[in-house]
Chains A and B, each alone.
Chain A
């Protein structure tokens, strides 16, 4: 490759990297945390889910029959059962929906009943527009972080567009980075941590870039697709065939055909269907069940499954009498290769197709993706302080470093603070009322830490303090859970909670230990690398 082409690629890589560095760190770090948000951290965050995530099939069948009798007939059109698996709601949730509204509403309206999965006691009811119910469901710390990763809580479509474009820029960075690194094979294992910070950071950037290149390309590709699909891609694709009507396109491809109600009574065997699905796919998790024309001879039942032998999530179709019809993509009965590729986008991005071990792989590689822009930024800054006439002054270099620590470290701190907050909220605030705490605590913590970066503190001390506070936040979780939590490491009501608490403690102690290893510096000037 010509040297001028390499120069251009290098510059392009630098520009894209510098412009997107902080945002990319934010999305990558929150994404690494979000991998574990469902179901592991969601179960940890919700006491109702901690004892068991399973409800006997017969009980589900009984509840559906019992509560179907209590709702007007139009609400039997579609019945959704959201199982307490840790992927949806924190309670067993029955949603009876009328697509055409009722005497009070012209829009899709729902009557909802939520039950504690252990006692099956009715905990919540709701009657009103379906959209409102789904929009205002109870959230928790890990769900909040997961949603932040998806759209930065900027709302849709702006948030989705931004994260989608970050996926595209990650693709550009990964591709250009591979081309400009000429000694890929020779420097596969080059990491010289005892040669000074500059060299260690440079080697780290290259090593993470090489080994994580395929992962970063996949994440960038799938992330851009997931972010931009509903906002740009589907409307564009629908332009010619469906006159730009995205809803019509989605309906055509994914519509589950409405059954013709025969008015012949035949019990819908939900328990038989659930048992059959469990036995057919023992490793998979049933997330939700949709029943159409319940207790009619033409009833149809759809189960959404995640995990098991299939990498992508799948939809199982049954007749009401329990007869298995087919297994299909979660998007519906669509043939072709493209749908298989699109199906794979979700598990490849989220890493949620095969249990905790695979998720840990995704978390570690995701954290390495987050370190890439930071190390790149540090290399760029360090380069500009070198030489006889550096383009970056001592003060500017220190300010940049404080800004990176304030923005990126602040995000880490804001995320970690949510976990002890969750424990306290579980003890003090019930149900949906918890939702109003996460946003303010998260964003005000982040903002406060970012604003503190303007203080004339040595950036090494600032980084040390950031690490200490992050470590302290996580280390607080275990003792708080012992004091306030229903399940903890002492009573071992839930092994998952105990493992998560211990993990938080280990990571917290590691952060504190790392912070204590950083030497205090007295003067600001002493922190600038010698030219």
Chain B
């Protein structure tokens, strides 16, 4: 169960990064989806590692997800302001 929650959390964070990267969405939509996905990841990590550990893991996981997204996917073709 813990492994599943960790996978869900990391996938959520990766999706969040892909969402932020996407340039076909407006900023409010991006913000809403990102918040949703981040919260999901936070809940999953907190279920596994407790409140403080979960919060730390979520932030660190987000950093790694962002880095991986940047290195693998690069910048989206067109970026809207």
- Enumerate chain A interface residues (CB-CB to B < 8 A): 186-193, 204, 207-208, 210-212, 214-215, 309-311, 348, 353-354, 357-358, 361-362, 364-365, 368
Is the Cβ of A365 less than 8 Å from the Cβ of B60?
A: yes
CB contact under 8 A between A212 and B63, given known A189-B75, A309-B50: yes
Which residues from chain B contact A358 at a C-beta distance below 8 Å?
Answer: 49, 53, 57, 60
Is the Cβ of A208 less than 8 Å from the Cβ of B67?
A: yes
Top 7 nearest A-B pairs (CB, nearest first) are A211-B67, A309-B50, A189-B70, A211-B66, A207-B70, A354-B49, A190-B75
- Please measure, in the bound complex, the distance between the C-alpha atom of A311 and the C-alpha atom of B69, giving whole angstroms: 28
Which residues from chain A contact B20 at a C-beta distance below 8 Å?
Answer: 188-189
- Please measure, in the bound complex, the distance between the C-alpha atom of A212 and the C-alpha atom of B61, giving whole angstroms: 11
Contact of A190 among B50, B61, B63, B70 (CB under 8 A): B70
Q: Please provide the chain B residues from 25 to 78 with a CB less than 8 Å away from any CB of chain A in the complex.
A: 48-50, 52-53, 56-57, 59-61, 63-64, 66-67, 69-71, 73-76
Q: Does B6 contact A (CB under 8 A)?
A: yes
CB distance from A140 to the nearest CB of B (A): 28
Contact of B21 among A189, A212, A354 (CB under 8 A): A189
- Please measure, in the bound complex, the distance between the C-alpha atom of A311 and the C-alpha atom of B56, giving whole angstroms: 9
CB distance from A77 to the nearest CB of B (A): 37
Is the Cβ of A365 less than 8 Å from the Cβ of B64?
A: yes
Is the Cβ of B61 less than 8 Å from the Cβ of A368?
A: no
Which residues from chain A contact B53 at a C-beta distance below 8 Å?
Answer: 309, 311, 353-354, 358
Is the Cβ of B74 less than 8 Å from the Cβ of A189?
A: yes
The residue among A193, A358, A365 with the most chain B CB atoms within 10 A of its own CB is A358
Q: Does B79 contact A (CB under 8 A)?
A: yes
A-B contact count (CB 8 A): 75
Which residues from chain A contact B71 at a C-beta distance below 8 Å?
Answer: 191, 204, 207
CB distance from A426 to the nearest CB of B (A): 31
| Additional 13 contacts, C-beta under 8 A, given A190-B70, A211-B70, A309-B49 | A188-B21, A189-B17, A189-B74, A189-B76, A211-B63, A211-B66, A215-B63, A311-B52, A311-B56, A353-B53, A354-B53, A358-B49, A361-B57
Closest to A193 in B: B74
Residue count of chain B within 8 Å CB distance of chain A: 26
Is the Cβ of B66 less than 8 Å from the Cβ of A354?
A: no
Which residues from chain A contact B64 at a C-beta distance below 8 Å?
Answer: 211, 361, 364-365
Is the Cβ of A186 less than 8 Å from the Cβ of B49?
A: no
- Please measure, in the bound complex, the distance between the C-alpha atom of A310 and the C-alpha atom of B51, giving whole angstroms: 9
Is the Cβ of A368 less than 8 Å from the Cβ of B67?
A: yes
Closest to A351 in B: B60
CB distance from B15 to the nearest CB of A (A): 14
Closest to B57 in A: A358
Is the Cβ of B56 less than 8 Å from the Cβ of A348?
A: yes
- Please measure, in the bound complex, the distance between the C-alpha atom of A187 and the C-alpha atom of B21, giving whole angstroms: 10
Closest to B18 in A: A189
Which residues from chain B contact A207 at a C-beta distance below 8 Å?
Answer: 67, 70-71
Closest to B52 in A: A311
Is the Cβ of B75 less than 8 Å from the Cβ of A215?
A: no
**Can you report 24 residue pairs joining A to B where beta carbons are below 8 Å apart?**
A188-B20, A189-B20, A189-B74, A190-B74, A190-B75, A191-B71, A192-B75, A207-B71, A211-B64, A211-B70, A215-B63, A309-B49, A348-B56, A353-B53, A353-B56, A354-B49, A354-B53, A357-B6, A358-B53, A361-B61, A364-B64, A365-B60, A365-B67, A368-B67
The residue among B50, B61, B73 with the most chain A CB atoms within 10 A of its own CB is B50
Which residues from chain A contact B61 at a C-beta distance below 8 Å?
Answer: 361
Is the Cβ of B6 less than 8 Å from the Cβ of A212?
A: no
Which residues from chain A contact B6 at a C-beta distance below 8 Å?
Answer: 357
CB distance from B10 to the nearest CB of A (A): 9
Which residues from chain B contact A357 at a C-beta distance below 8 Å?
Answer: 6
Is the Cβ of A188 less than 8 Å from the Cβ of B70?
A: yes
Which residues from chain B contact A191 at a C-beta distance below 8 Å?
Answer: 70-71, 74-75
- Please measure, in the bound complex, the distance between the C-alpha atom of A216 and the C-alpha atom of B31, giving whole angstroms: 26
The residue among B17, B48, B61, B75 with the most chain A CB atoms within 10 A of its own CB is B75
Which residues from chain A contact B59 at a C-beta distance below 8 Å?
Answer: 214
- Please measure, in the bound complex, the distance between the C-alpha atom of A412 and the C-alpha atom of B50, giving whole angstroms: 36
- Please measure, in the bound complex, the distance between the C-alpha atom of A49 and the C-alpha atom of B69, giving whole angstroms: 38
CB distance from B23 to the nearest CB of A (A): 10
CB distance from B32 to the nearest CB of A (A): 18
Is the Cβ of B60 less than 8 Å from the Cβ of A189?
A: no
Closest to B63 in A: A211
CB distance from B34 to the nearest CB of A (A): 12
Closest to A216 in B: B63
- Please measure, in the bound complex, the distance between the C-alpha atom of A311 and the C-alpha atom of B57, giving whole angstroms: 11
CB distance from B42 to the nearest CB of A (A): 14
Which residues from chain B contact A362 at a C-beta distance below 8 Å?
Answer: 60
Which residues from chain B contact A193 at a C-beta distance below 8 Å?
Answer: 74
- Please measure, in the bound complex, the distance between the C-alpha atom of A25 and the C-alpha atom of B71, giving whole angstroms: 20
Is the Cβ of B74 less than 8 Å from the Cβ of A186?
A: no
- Please measure, in the bound complex, the distance between the C-alpha atom of A295 and the C-alpha atom of B64, giving whole angstroms: 51
Closest to B55 in A: A311
- Please measure, in the bound complex, the distance between the C-alpha atom of A353 and the C-alpha atom of B60, giving whole angstroms: 13
Which residues from chain A contact B63 at a C-beta distance below 8 Å?
Answer: 211-212, 214-215, 365
CB distance from B9 to the nearest CB of A (A): 10
Closest to A348 in B: B56
Is the Cβ of A186 less than 8 Å from the Cβ of B60?
A: no
- Please measure, in the bound complex, the distance between the C-alpha atom of A364 and the C-alpha atom of B21, giving whole angstroms: 21
- Please measure, in the bound complex, the distance between the C-alpha atom of A193 and the C-alpha atom of B71, giving whole angstroms: 9
- Please measure, in the bound complex, the distance between the C-alpha atom of A215 and the C-alpha atom of B59, giving whole angstroms: 9
- Please measure, in the bound complex, the distance between the C-alpha atom of A215 and the C-alpha atom of B62, giving whole angstroms: 11
CB distance from B39 to the nearest CB of A (A): 19
- Please measure, in the bound complex, the distance between the C-alpha atom of A210 and the C-alpha atom of B67, giving whole angstroms: 9
